[in-house]
Every structure is written in structure tokens, then in C-alpha cells.
């Protein structure tokens, strides 16, 4: 069976070896005569998987001992609620940097909680006025020196805008939504108070959320919330406060083991940058036909967006690509156009095939 060339924005394509491993042992995990999803989350078989997922994350991301790694549920959307609930106290304020649909969502959800407790949410910087086509640098941000934290989104999946250099917005605690920016390259975790992301891009299937947070920051979180809403409670329970999504965590383990096996973040970063270079070169080579609206310095390595001369051509592009075995190319419904997601498990050969198709399509329609 030929693998479909899958450029979905998430849930995204997963590494074939991780899936094959899941298939091969689906009915019989480690000779136990049961699926891993039938094991108790308190039994040694699952706990070994859980601990391996956590230690692979720590190793691959080089997470320092100062930081905790949590495996939660609910995706980034749940974090949009939990972050202000834990860290935005009555009378306090938080800064949000808004550079696309996801950071805007994070900001508007935080504002709801702020209204409930009587706190303030400020937009410290935004690229709204240029239709989210650039990552606003810290120099342009109006930061509140008393903010409880600064929240920003390192890669905007819908708008294809990325902070390639992972800057720092002032000296208050930095909380970063890295959902579509996690685990494709090396970066220094230490400066962040908290980073989080849904697994369904580079880490595994949907239904698992990875949070990495400074232990000292977790300790500052509000203590009177229901336990499940407190990072502290999850940290104390090693992410076994309640029944975790065991099969999801198992798949995360498989993906991480694959990533380590092919050389870790150094190897995958090289591969990802090459894929993005192939695609942006194909766009720029036909700049009169393919137009990437994003400023060059903010072009995402993970989600490449571009337009064609008309919506009709865009529709034809998506339809014809599908006939060539390439799916997931339609831009998000809120912005239109084409979006190509280049997550870790996207094969370089798929990108080469797409670039070839783009050239051919332009020759036939340009």
C-alpha cells in the first residue's frame, strides 16, 4: 500500500515505524496477551511506557532539572483556560502577543477568565493591522512591567508565521504556545516559565498535551482550584493524577523513540529546514503565480502558506494534487489559499514531489 503524501496541519502524518509498531503489538503488548490500552494505568507495563515517554521528551528537548514535563489532555485550547486560571490573580495583569488566529484565541479566552476574577489582559503587541503576516519583535511590544506573565505563540499554524529565533518579551515569565513548533528543532527550554502544545503535530496523536514548565513557576499557581485544573497537582502525581489517555501516551512514546532513532533534533531540524527551503524556493521561483503573504523573516518552517492568482485556481490546485496522492493542502477556512504543513514525519520526497507538481501546475495554468 502506498502512503498518501499527507500535509495536514494537525492531526498530522505520523512516522510510519511508530504506526507499524503500534499495529504489530496492538493485540499483545510486550507479551502480555492484552493491548497496551487494556492495561491499568497503575500497572508496571503502562507505567514503563509513561516514564519512557517523559524521559525521551526530557532527553530530546534537553529539558533541565529545573523544569517539569506534564502529559495532559484537552489540547492547547484547555491551556488557554488553565494558564490564566493558575497564574492571573485578581487585580493582576497579563500581556498577550497576538500574531495570528491561535494567539488571538489564547488572548480572548484569557480575557474571559480575567473578567471573572477581576484581572486585566493586555495585547502587548499585534500584527493584526498587517493581517498577521509577520511575527512582531519584542522591541515593538508595549510590555507591562508588572504583568504576571507574557503569553505568545511561537508558530501560527493558520497564518504560517513563525518566530524563527524564539525571542524574549521582556523580563516577566514567558509562556509560549508551541503546539506547531514543538520538537522539530533544538532550543533552550530554560528561559521559559512554561511551554505547551497539543501532540497532534510533531509529537503524536490528538488527545495528549505536552506541558514543560519551571517547577518554581508551577508552585506559584493558584492553589484553591479543583485539582484537575492545577498544574501543581499533575506535577505531584507525575501526570497520573487521573487516568491518562494511555494509548495516546503510548503512541507519543513510539514517535519519540523513532525520533531518537533517526538522530534526534539535530537530524530532524536539518531535514525540516531542507524541506522548507525546497518549498519556499518553488514558491519564489514562480513569484508571479505563487505568492506567500508572510514577510521573509517570519516564514514558518512548519506551515507554509501561499496564494494562487484566483480562488478557482486554488481549488483546482488542491483537487489535482489530491489526484497525485497529495492531501491536506487546503488553507484554513478562515484565510483560504494553500497551506502545506511540513511536520517531522512529512517525507522529504513528498515535498520534492509537491514542488514538481507546483512547477507543472504553473506551466499549465500560468
Q: What angle do CA 216, 212, 202 make, to 5 degrees?
A: 170
Would you count residue 247 as binding a second copy (CB under 8 A)? yes
Dihedral angle, C-alpha 266, 268, 273, 277, nearest 10 °: 140
Nearer residue to a second copy within complex by CB, 142 or 334: 334
Distance, in Å, from the CA atom of 217 to the CA atom of 212, rounded to the nearest integer, reads 11
Q: How far is the CB of 336 from a second copy (least distance, A)?
A: 14
Q: Which is nearer to a second copy, 245 or 264 (CB)?
A: 245
Nearer to a second copy, 187 or 350 (CB): 350
Region 164-193 residues binding a second copy, contact defined as CB under 8 A? none
- Could you confirm whether 102 is annotated as catalytic? yes
Interface with a second copy: number of residues (CB under 8 A): 71
- Nearest-angstrom CA–CA distance, 281 and 31: 49
The one catalytic residue in 95, 113, 152, 177 is 177
How far apart (Å, rounded) are the C-alpha atoms in residues 321 and 140? 40
Return the residues of window 282-321 that contact a second copy according to CB under 8 A. none
Output the smallest distance, CB 73 to a second copy, in A.
4
Asked whether position 8 contacts a second copy by CB under 8 A, the answer is yes
Question: Applying CB under 8 A, does 197 fall inside the site for a second copy?
Answer: no
Q: Does 229 bind a second copy (CB under 8 A)?
A: yes
Question: Interface mask (CB under 8 A) for a second copy, residues 324-343, using x and -?
Answer: -x-xx----x----------
Q: Which of 100, 160, 197, 205 binds a second copy (CB under 8 A)?
A: 205
CA-only gyration radius of the chain, Å? 21
- Taking CB under 8 A as the criterion, which residues in 34-73 touch a second copy? 34-35, 37-42, 73
**Does 116 sit near a second copy (CB under 8 A)?**
yes
**Is the distance from CB of 208 to CB of 249 less than 8 angstroms?**
yes
Q: Considering the complex, what minimum distance in angstroms separates the CB of residue 110 from a second copy?
A: 8
Q: Which long-range contacts (CB under 8 A, 24 or more apart) does 320-327 make?
A: 320/357, 320/361, 321/354, 321/357, 321/361, 324/353, 324/357, 325/2, 325/4, 325/5, 326/4, 326/5, 326/7, 326/350, 326/353, 326/354, 326/357, 327/4, 327/5, 327/6, 327/7, 327/8
Give me the active site residues, please.
102, 177, 201
Amino acid at each position: 500500500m502506498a502512503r498518501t503524501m499527507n500535509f495536514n496541519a494537525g492531526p498530522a502524518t505520523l512516522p510510519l515505524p511508530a504506526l507499524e509498531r503500534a499495529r504489530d503489538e496492538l493485540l499483545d503488548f510486550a507479551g502480555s496477551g492484552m493491548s497496551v490500552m487494556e492495561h491499568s494505568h497503575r500497572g508496571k507495563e503502562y507505567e514503563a511506557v509513561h516514564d519512557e515517554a517523559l524521559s525521551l521528551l526530557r532527553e530530546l528537548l534537553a529539558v533541565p532539572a529545573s523544569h517539569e514535563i506534564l502529559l495532559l489532555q484537552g489540547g492547547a485550547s484547555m491551556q488557554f483556560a488553565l494558564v490564566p486560571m493558575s497564574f492571573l490573580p485578581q487585580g493582576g495583569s497579563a500581556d498577550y502577543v497576538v500574531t495570528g488566529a491561535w494567539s488571538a484565541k489564547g488572548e480572548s479566552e484569557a480575557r474571559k477568565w480575567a473578567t471573572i476574577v477581576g484581572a486585566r489582559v493586555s495585547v502587548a503587541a499585534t500584527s493584526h493591522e498587517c493581517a498577521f503576516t509577520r511575527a512582531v519583535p519584542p522591541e515593538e511590544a508595549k510590555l507591562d512591567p508588572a504583568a504576571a506573565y507574557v503569553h505568545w505563540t511561537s508558530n501560527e499554524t493558520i497564518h504560517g508565521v513563525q518566530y524563527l529565533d524564539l525571542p524574549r518579551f521582556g523580563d516577566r515569565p514567558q509562556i509560549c504556545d508551541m503546539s506547531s513548533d514543538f520538537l522539530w528543532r533544538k532550543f533552550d527550554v530554560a528561559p521559559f516559565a512554561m511551554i505547551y502544545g497539543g501532540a497532534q503535530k510533531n509529537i503524536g496523536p490528538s488527545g495528549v498535551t505536552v506541558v514543560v514548565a519551571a517547577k518554581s513557576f508551577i508552585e506559584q499557581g493558584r492553589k484553591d482550584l479543583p485539582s484537575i485544573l492545577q498544574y501543581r497537582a499533575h506535577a505531584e502525581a507525575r501526570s497520573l493524577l487521573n487516568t491518562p489517555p494511555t494509548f495516546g501516551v503510548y503512541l507519543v512514546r513510539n514517535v519519540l523513540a523513532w525520533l531518537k532513532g533517526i538522530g534526534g533534533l539535530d537530524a530532524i531540524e536539518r531535514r525540516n529546514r531542507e524541506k522548507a527551503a525546497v518549498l519556499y524556493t518553488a514558491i519564489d521561483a514562480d513569484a508571479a503565480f505563487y505568492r506567500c503573504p508572510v514577510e521573509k523573516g517570519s516564514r514558518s518552517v512548519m506551515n507554509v502558506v501561499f496564494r494562487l492568482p484566483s480562488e478557482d485556481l486554488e481549488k483546482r490546485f488542491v483537487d489535482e494534487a489530491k489526484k497525485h496522492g497529495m492531501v491536506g493542502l487546503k488553507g484554513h477556512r478562515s484565510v483560504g489559499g494553500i497551506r502545506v504543513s511540513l511536520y517531522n514525519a512529512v517525507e522529504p520526497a513528498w515535498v520534492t514531489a509537491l514542488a514538481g507538481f507546483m512547477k507543472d501546475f504553473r506551466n499549465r495554468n500560468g
